[in-house]
């Protein structure tokens, strides 16, 4: 009966609401101890150069390894931390872990592999960020070009002026700036002219839906051309199939990241990978990319 259907619907609705509140409460009451207990772990997803399909860099992606609940993905807690300000503590933790591992890979004789770290809006508004980043680099003997900072496009929606100022400062320190999820928001094109961006990360919705939408394919093609005219590098995110790889090669995209090549890997698996494979030397540094 209709009544029965409504009844079930309501019950389901109530349960999902309660579940959501419980999770948020769980996250809020456990986040501090989780940081102290080192329950946040950094995974690394390699990025590949499309000219030789070898690894050229990687992205650090955080997960919460809870002793009872197992691996909790970032989309369940990042937003909550962005709302309550805890995100900066977490991001600095991820940054330090990343610096530490990059240092240890160099010390073990691996070629330098730049790693990008995700940075939130709140981090950029933290007036100490520059000093903290510099002291981390010093502590681990790294150059700012070893660490790329990924800033999601939606970060620019409010206080754009202040964001632009903060990012210019990071750029002046020598960090490589990547604009994450490019094309997912509203301000993309305007921001391109305002910001000292080095790399565009094409939002995965373009790559994953181009075969169903000629417009998406055209936009993808346009963004890659635009990036080249502006002397930027382009990374396509969420590449899952060989067809996508072939199209991106055809369009002249520089780098790719996605399950087709590798999922984000826990530290030991990533280390095994970089010890076994050859690195790309076609596009090793951004400086050598000029002539492409
Ligand atoms: P993002 O920075 O855009 O990262 C890319 C996301 O796409 C990652 O999800 C990655 O696992 C996923 N991905 C990579 N290749 C594929 C693919 O071929 N197919 C599909 N369907 N997905 C793919 P993840 O690791 O769950 O992270 C989600 C988001 O959480 C990130 O999106 C980023 O915005 C945020 N995040 C992750 N780690 C951190 C962090 O340390 N700090 C901050 N502030 N945000 C983080
Ligand atoms: Mg990212
Ligand atoms: Mg992204
Ligand atoms: Mg994102």
Q: According to the model, what pLDDT value does residue 3 have?
A: 43
Cβ atoms within 10 Å of 283's Cβ, excluding its own? 19
- Coil, strand or helix at 118: strand
Q: According to the model, what pLDDT value does residue 158 have?
A: 79
| 291 has a pLDDT exceeding 90 | no
User: What average pLDDT does the segment 122-151 reach?
Assistant: 94
Distance in Å, CA 154 to ligand 1 centroid? 14
Q: According to the model, what pLDDT value does residue 283 have?
A: 52
Q: According to the model, what pLDDT value does residue 60 have?
A: 98
User: Per-residue confidence at 282, pLDDT binned at 50, 70, 90?
Assistant: low
Residue at token pair 């009844």: 7
Give the helix/strand (H/E) hosting 62: strand 54-66
Q: According to the model, what pLDDT value does residue 20 have?
A: 62
> What ipTM does the predicted assembly reach?
0.97
Q: According to the model, what pLDDT value does residue 17 have?
A: 59
Percent of the chain at pLDDT > 70 equals 88
Q: Which residues have their alpha-adjacent CB atom under 5 A from ion ligand 2?
A: 118, 150, 180
pTM of the model: 0.90
User: Per-residue confidence at 1, pLDDT binned at 50, 70, 90?
Assistant: very low
Distance in Å, CA 289 to ligand 4 centroid? 25
Residues at CB less than 6 angstroms from ligand 1: 45, 61-62, 73-75, 78, 87, 91, 94, 118, 120, 150, 152, 180-181, 237-240, 257-259, 264
Q: Give pLDDT tens digits for 10-50.
A: 445 555 656 666 689 999 999 999 999 999 999 999 999 99
């Amino acid at each position: 009966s209709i009544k029965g259907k409504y009844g079930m619907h309501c019950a389901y609705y109530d349960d999902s609401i309660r579940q959501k509140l419980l999770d948020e409460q769980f996250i809020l009451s456990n986040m501090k101890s989780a940081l102290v207990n080192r329950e946040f772990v950094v995974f690394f997803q390699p990025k590949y150069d499309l000219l030789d399909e070898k690894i050229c860099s990687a992205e650090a992606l955080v997960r919460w390894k809870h002793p009872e609940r197992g691996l909790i993905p970032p989309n369940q807690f990042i937003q909550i931390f962005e709302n309550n300000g805890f995100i900066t503590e977490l991001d600095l933790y991820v940054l330090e872990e990343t610096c530490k591992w990059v240092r240890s890979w160099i010390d073990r004789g691996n070629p330098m592999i730049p790693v990008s770290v995700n940075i939130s809006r709140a981090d950029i508004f933290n007036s100490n960020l520059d000093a903290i980043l510099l002291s981390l680099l010093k502590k681990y003997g790294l150059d700012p070009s070893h660490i790329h900072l990924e800033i999601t496009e939606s970060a620019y929606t409010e206080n754009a002026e202040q964001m632009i100022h903060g990012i210019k400062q990071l750029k002046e320190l020598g960090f490589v700036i990547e604009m994450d999820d490019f094309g997912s928001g509203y301000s993309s094109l305007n921001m391109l002219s305002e910001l000292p961006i080095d790399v565009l990360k094409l939002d995965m919705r373009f790559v994953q839906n181009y075969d169903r939408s000629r417009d998406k394919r055209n936009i993808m093609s346009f963004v890659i051309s635009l990036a080249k005219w502006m002397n930027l590098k382009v990374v396509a995110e969420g590449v899952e199939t060989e067809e996508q790889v072939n199209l991106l090669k055809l369009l002249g995209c520089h780098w790719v990241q996605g399950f087709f090549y590798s999922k984000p890997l826990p530290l030991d698996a990533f280390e095994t990978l970089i010890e076994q494979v050859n690195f790309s030397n076609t596009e090793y540094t951004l400086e050598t990319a000029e002539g492409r």
